[in-house]
Structure 1
Amino acid sequence: MTESATTAAARLAELAGTVIGGSLPIRIRAWDGSEAGPATGPVLVLNSRRALRRLLWSPGELGLAEAYISGDVDVEGDLAQGLSTVWNAAKDGKVTRPKVKPTQWPRLALEAARLGVIGLRPPGPGQAASLKGRRHSRDRDRAAIAHHYDLSNEFYELLLDKSMAYSCAYYVDGPGGDLGAAQDAKLDLVCRKLGLSAGRKHLDVGCGWGSLICYAAEHYGTYSTGVTLSRQQFEFVTKRVADAGLADRVQVRLADYRELDNGLDDGQYDAVSTIEMGEHVGDAEYPAFAGILHRVLRPGGRALVQQMSRGENAPGGGAFIETYIAPDMHMKPLGTTVSLLGGAGLEVRDVHALREHYDWTVRAWADTLEEHWTEVVEMIGEVGARVWRLYLVGGALAFAENRMGVDQILAVRPDAAGTASMEPSRRVWET
């Protein structure tokens, strides 16, 4: 260390520069009030030496996330800008991890000890998922869904719009539009793509809080059935359907999607939808999932899959999301999903990219979270609130910076002669 590196922040900056092979991409303020790094932009505030030990024990995304949600770290200024700065520095190669020379290790270790980096693993901040059993077994999937969706109906009612749609909206008028109107536009778009009309039988796999099945029955006169693995969602939708007077046209099942592979549902539906549920289906299980979508349709019936995507090298949700938000989440490249649907016998007729719309959707949720911060803390605790703040801000950035995508994939089950029963010359939902 140099003679000038006397404050905690300066010593941290120099230590970090040696380890990561570059200057700090963001300004830091240490527990002693000292600062180092770029003069402009957000400031990463290290409230405790414990933050450094979290990074030692869990280097990378998870350690930094746990330091934030525990309160050991704060961000002064725009959290999204701070996350983007760090991400872009790593992406552009400004932050690397070169080999440290053996002769440097004693000095680095001594300085790390002086700064309080070395020590026992800090206790977890709480609210992490704890799953047992084989990945994507029925019991484990049920526990994973419960961890995320059974959090609190009151929380989701506060966060979401009146439709209770927890998926990417469709901003017809661009990012300045109202979230509720954009969610209604998405629900209507799905119904038109599926060719729904009075008397048609519609199945929604992973129906959430019932937004689509209720909308389809009320506005298009369908007989809609929803399937959810979440008991809390099942009870909410059951009451919602009764309160709306839709019990004669809408039903909800508390079931695993694999329970549809029973022979009784084969060929029973004119349309099937699955809105951001495929991300919870394991990679090995997805061919069977696609096969179920094919089998429940009558020949000529349509399927709409709205699903998030990531590249081949980053299929999961990331260490933070899989630990605190959506355990066992799996996102695949768009082309892989299209191939799997085709392999199940469905003919893909259209792919509609909605990536920017998800950025706008998540930002609207994040704004609501901040507006009702005190209420959210009362509902799910300070740690829970910080988990969701980080999740929403980071999620919006992932879509804005094209690290994640989301698409509506429209497919049809051809009849025995190969006829698709869909207009080939134009997008039928635009008429």
Structure 2
Amino acid sequence: MNTTTGTPACAAQRIAPVIEQFLGGPPPVRIRMWDGSETGPADAPTVHVRSRRALRRLLWQPGELGLAEAYISGDIDLADDLADGLRAMRRASREQGLKAPRPGLADRVRAAGTALRLGAVGPRPPVPAARAGLRGALHSKARDRAAISHHYDLSNDFYALLLDETMAYSCGYWTSDAPDYGPADAQRDKLELICHKLGLRPGARLLDIGCGWGSLTLHAAARHGVRVTAVTLAAEQAAYVRGEVRARGLEDLVEVHRCDYRDVAGLPGFQGGYDAVSTVEMGEHVGDAEYPAFTALLHAVLRPQGRALVQQMSRGSTAPGGGAFIESYIAPDMHMRPLGETVELLEGAGLEVRDVESMREHYVLTVEAWHRTLEERWPEFVALVGEETARVWRLYLVGGALAFEERRMGVDQILSVRPGAGGSAGMPASRHGWYTEPGTVPAQRGDGAGTPADGADRDKGAGR
């Protein structure tokens, strides 16, 4: 015992057997305790347990959420780059075949005894303020509004700092690796790809459900002359898009509505059907039980031969909500399903699925770009939202990039059509015109056909 500080001299050696017991094997990381003692492989990433409160958090909240909250609060940190550290830990865990056993009562008693000897037993630490606290019935309109607000109403200033000038908060489409090609280019290429898949022409009517900060809405109206009805539940997003519509003089082409997707049928212009409907990474917020009604809505809003494009994240049966951390701090009540289930639900609603394109690797590049911005402008983020919320987003972005990289999550564009009488889809016989050579975007001719354009002709201002 250190008689000056009262701190056990070998905290790491005391805690090592407990860690091994709960992990099902030796730890894949180096662990440095608050007293400077260390345990674990010397060549592994170092996890710094800064205070006894970290252990207290894990006693009260074992597992992923307790670890995440210990990181968010600064009680645990990584001495190395967080992304490199998490990647190394996951690799070591796979190589060692670690599989955490379910601890019994005796295991918990021993762990509590160790924590007591380390002086880590005490009242439950406060939950970080960034944690969501939703009330009400799952996927009721009021609860969905609160869930969306928790994530998307963080502030327009925050997202303007994080995102590129397009304000597109979804997977980009990276068509070039040229040094001067960046996130905004990838987002514009994604927006143009969506417009071509939907066959948008001047005067066409598009319903953009979950329009975000209006990247697709504004692009379709400004570049393609499309009449857009934009829908979002987030107050901050609706205010931003309305401001951009006024600033760009698009009032005759764009209507912005802050409403639930279930209220779309009451909007002006619903009768008669839209030529196209888009929903870009919004369906994850709909819920599992509610998704059949959502796909039925997509079918109902379209005229015969109208097209629907769904860009949506996918995940298997394990942690369809993203896991305890994501569900508590980022996207409460989110539900992701395997791609095949989404296709089946779209077909069950009467839509004919015509094309599916995986964009998983594109999301790695997209999220890594957001993470670079976060790190490069860290003091600004901390000044804007506070240290804890900034650390939430660091963990979220790093973990998200790894999930897509390791194929634990996917994202896809699914194009479908509402067939007309006799089954006619009115679709092109091939994908010709949807895609272009890297670094170019299709130019829209007056007849709506797409042709490759020179990369220098890219509309650099289309997204903002």
How much has 1:261 moved relative to structure 2? 3.2
> Does residue 35 of structure 1 match 2:38?
yes
Alpha-carbon distance between aligned partners in 1 of 2:81 and 2:262, rounded to the nearest angstrom: 43
Report the AA paired with residue 257 of structure 1.
Y
Alpha-carbon distance between aligned partners in 1 of 2:80 and 2:147, rounded to the nearest angstrom: 34
How much has 1:127 moved relative to structure 2? 1.4
Instruction: Specify which of 206, 224, 236 is matched with residue 210 of structure 2.
Output: 206
More off after superposition, 364-373 vs 14-23? 14-23
> Does residue 181 of structure 1 match 2:185?
yes
Instruction: Specify which of 173, 193, 199 is matched with residue 197 of structure 2.
Output: 193
> Does residue 96 of structure 1 match 2:99?
yes
> Which residue number in structure 2 is paired with residue 364 of structure 1?
369
**Contact 1:175–1:357 under 8 Å retained in 2:** no
Instruction: Specify which of 324, 328, 332 is matched with residue 329 of structure 2.
Output: 324
Q: CA RMSD in A?
A: 2.0
How much has 1:20 moved relative to structure 2? 2.3
Instruction: Specify which of 276, 282, 287 is matched with residue 281 of structure 2.
Output: 276
Alpha-carbon distance between aligned partners in 1 of 2:409 and 2:60, rounded to the nearest angstrom: 28
The 5-angstrom pairing of residues 146-165 of structure 1 reads: 146-165=149-168
Alpha-carbon distance between aligned partners in 2 of 1:19 and 1:292, rounded to the nearest angstrom: 47
The 1:105–1:341 alpha-carbon spacing in structure 2 relative to 1, beyond 3 Å, is closer
How much has 1:424 moved relative to structure 2? 2.8
Report the AA paired with residue 187 of structure 1.
L
> Does residue 241 of structure 1 match 2:245?
yes
**Contact 2:208–2:231 under 8 Å retained in 1:** yes
How much has 1:206 moved relative to structure 2? 0.2
The 1:297–1:11 alpha-carbon spacing in structure 2 relative to 1, beyond 3 Å, is same
Report the AA paired with residue 400 of structure 2.
G
The 5-angstrom pairing of residues 23-422 of structure 1 reads: 23-91=26-94, 94-98=97-101, 108-174=111-177, 177-262=181-266, 265-422=270-427
**Contact 1:20–1:98 under 8 Å retained in 2:** yes
Report the AA paired with residue 24 of structure 2.
G
Alpha-carbon distance between aligned partners in 2 of 1:106 and 1:277, rounded to the nearest angstrom: 44
**Contact 2:303–2:418 under 8 Å retained in 1:** yes
Alpha-carbon distance between aligned partners in 2 of 1:421 and 1:428, rounded to the nearest angstrom: 16
Report the AA paired with residue 25 of structure 1.
P
Deviation track 1:89-120 (CA, whole Å, cap 9, x = no partner) reads: 55566323346788877655432321234332
How much has 1:196 moved relative to structure 2? 0.6
Deviation track 1:231-270 (CA, whole Å, cap 9, x = no partner) reads: 1111111011100111111111111000013496144211
**Contact 2:183–2:366 under 8 Å retained in 1:** yes
What stretches of structure 1 of length at least 5 have no aligned partner?
none
Number of residue equivalences: 427
More off after superposition, 219-228 vs 421-430? 421-430
Under a length normalisation based on structure 2, what TM-score does the superposition of the two structures give? 0.88
**Contact 1:42–1:79 under 8 Å retained in 2:** no
Q: What secondary structure is seen at the aligned counterpart in 1 of 2:27?
A: coil
Instruction: Specify which of 1, 6, 11 is matched with residue 14 of structure 2.
Output: 11
Alpha-carbon distance between aligned partners in 1 of 2:12 and 2:312, rounded to the nearest angstrom: 43
Report the AA paired with residue 207 of structure 1.
C
The 1:302–1:428 alpha-carbon spacing in structure 2 relative to 1, beyond 3 Å, is farther
Alpha-carbon distance between aligned partners in 1 of 2:9 and 2:192, rounded to the nearest angstrom: 62
Q: What secondary structure is seen at the aligned counterpart in 2 of 1:52?
A: helix
The 1:281–1:422 alpha-carbon spacing in structure 2 relative to 1, beyond 3 Å, is same
The 1:222–1:105 alpha-carbon spacing in structure 2 relative to 1, beyond 3 Å, is closer
**Contact 2:168–2:215 under 8 Å retained in 1:** yes
How much has 1:280 moved relative to structure 2? 0.3
**Contact 1:175–1:360 under 8 Å retained in 2:** no
The 1:144–1:99 alpha-carbon spacing in structure 2 relative to 1, beyond 3 Å, is closer
> Does residue 22 of structure 1 match 2:25?
yes
Report the AA paired with residue 254 of structure 1.
R
The 1:179–1:426 alpha-carbon spacing in structure 2 relative to 1, beyond 3 Å, is closer
Q: What secondary structure is seen at the aligned counterpart in 1 of 2:355?
A: strand
Between the two proteins, what is the percent identity of the paired residues?
A: 59
How much has 1:304 moved relative to structure 2? 0.4
Alpha-carbon distance between aligned partners in 2 of 1:198 and 1:6, rounded to the nearest angstrom: 74
**Contact 1:274–1:305 under 8 Å retained in 2:** yes
Report the AA paired with residue 193 of structure 2.
L
Alpha-carbon distance between aligned partners in 2 of 1:205 and 1:402, rounded to the nearest angstrom: 27
Alpha-carbon distance between aligned partners in 2 of 1:362 and 1:293, rounded to the nearest angstrom: 28
The 1:100–1:56 alpha-carbon spacing in structure 2 relative to 1, beyond 3 Å, is closer
More off after superposition, 392-401 vs 106-115? 106-115
